[in-house]
Structure 1
């Protein structure tokens, strides 16, 4: 697996800028000045512009004609609604994967699960997230429903900055890995209803889980 430091410069910058947006260094409504970004991230305009395009595709940045890049206003309720939809899509992927997964796909899921465990043991939330992301994408692929895969991947891409942040909430990485283990057992045993329920609970943010998540966002903006 490619480490963060080995990724193209534009992607490295996009991840740093992504964190700065989520952590509140750049507040909603802020106009991003390319020269200031060049100085902050030690890069030329070309990778900065490429990074902005990547974040625009995820909805974290809006690129407006003659106005440049702007941080859009983040609505916590919309964010919660997006997680609700993501949970339903992933639940469907889990149910179909339990029915349709192939032997080689089981091996790949198991490999990614072990990779998550390695990063958990190292307390490396960044690389854990990357392995976790591939783990979820592997479940999508195992559903063998191309339209569902397309929709799940698109929404996951939109939400991934916030899913990364979730892993920095106290003990979330440990809980995530434990939940992955249960999800694997359900899928591998062909238990469709269990896989569906576990994935939905794994992704949705509600009740205390949502409160803790929003409190983390608020704390990081202070």
Structure 2
């Protein structure tokens, strides 16, 4: 059995769970495809064929078309002429601008968390950080990435802001396929532990300005980090300027 056939079977196995969630079928398909994009299973530049997706999920092409239209509106998917519908790719200048915006949003979330986080939320952040350290010790990049995602979600929740958290998560989804490459850079996981520790310490002592700086610097790409990140990207991941 080929890898593609195994993937198709895995998707079919998930179909009952897909159908059981609330919302329309096109909504459920959109959520499932978005998860595959965010997780990197569908990387930037990957072609999204309506017929293939319909066959994988055992549905008609109409809800697939609606799901792809919704994903196009979010910027995760784009229509590229004869190439059809693909997972969105981004020019390097725009991508770096997105990372700068992410740095500002993450910094503000950390600043508000330092002012507003409850003792329970601080303890939860500390517990997630401990799991991240364990993932580093086991040298498991995929587990590390998932727990890192959990840490940042908890940080947004600790900020006690709905609009800011929503905007931060939306932008994070846009750059998720690229951020995975940051995690896989040599030494990046170990550096993340130290950066999270600085964020945590600032939040725990209610130092809002230090929390802002620590979180912003954690996300932003500067100097050698930026050069290494750009060189790591496959050509299909980016558009020409």
* TM-score bracket for the superposition, by shorter chain length: 0.7 to 0.9
1:18 equivalent to 2:40? Answer yes
CA spacing shift, 1:54–1:118, aligned 2, 3 Å? farther
How do 1:1-222 and structure 2 match up within 5 A? 10=32, 14=36, 18-19=40-41, 21-22=43-44, 26=46, 31-34=47-50, 43-44=56-57, 46=59, 59-62=75-78, 69-218=85-234
Structure 2, unmatched stretches of 5+, are 1-12, 19-31
CA spacing shift, 1:58–1:130, aligned 2, 3 Å? farther
Tell me what 2:10 maps to.
Answer: none
CA spacing shift, 1:179–1:117, aligned 2, 3 Å? same
RMSD over aligned Cα atoms? 3.6
Deviates more, 1:52-61 or 1:211-220: 52-61
TM-score normalised according to structure 2 size: 0.71
Deviation at 1:65, TM superposition (A): 11
Q: Deviations over 1:117-146 (max 9, x none)?
A: 121112111121111111111111111122
CA spacing shift, 1:173–1:53, aligned 2, 3 Å? farther
TM-score normalised according to structure 1 size: 0.76
Tell me what 1:3 maps to.
Answer: none
Q: 2: CA distance between counterparts of 1:94 and 1:149?
A: 11
Q: 1: CA distance between counterparts of 2:149 and 2:90?
A: 23
Q: How many residues align?
A: 208
Q: 2: CA distance between counterparts of 1:118 and 1:58?
A: 35
Q: 1: CA distance between counterparts of 2:155 and 2:145?
A: 15
Q: 2: CA distance between counterparts of 1:219 and 1:66?
A: 19
Structure 1, unmatched stretches of 5+, are 1-5
Q: Deviations over 1:127-184 (max 9, x none)?
A: 2111111111111111112221121121112222222221001111111111111111
**Aligned partner of residue 36 in structure 2, secondary structure:** helix
**Aligned partner of residue 40 in structure 2, secondary structure:** helix
Tell which structure's C-alpha radius of gyration is larger: 2
